[in-house]
Amino acid sequence: MHETGLSDAIVQAVLDRADGRKVTAVRVRVGGHIGGHEVDPHVIDQGFRVAAAGTPAQDADVEVVIEPLAVRCRDCGVQGAALDAPALAACPCCGGVDIEVVGGADVQLEEITFGGGV
């Protein structure tokens, strides 16, 4: 998913949960390789600010935690950080390419902090 679309979706998820309350902080965990490309946390932060303008989340502090792509090798059974992007991912132990992605490919809204006022 492109960072702009991802930022828009994060803001919408935050606003859905805020129910009109002022949002002061947001922490989101993002897989390091979403949609086949490396994710830039600064672009997500900037996109969040643009998408949140004029909303109760407009001044929120945004923490983007990048989760590395994790794979499990079907050849040797080892699970760990991928050596490369998903399209070229290889086992971190044996270098095998018969792998399955087991982490770092999704988005989780971990925490929202609300402040006083609207």
Say what the alpha-carbon torsion angle 24, 5, 3, 69 is, to the nearest 10 degrees. Answer: 100
Q: What residues form the annotated binding site for Ni(2+)?
A: 2
- Exposure string for 99-115, b = 16+ CB within 10 A, e = fewer: bebebbbebeeeebebe
Q: What residues form the annotated binding site for Zn(2+)?
A: 73, 76, 91, 94
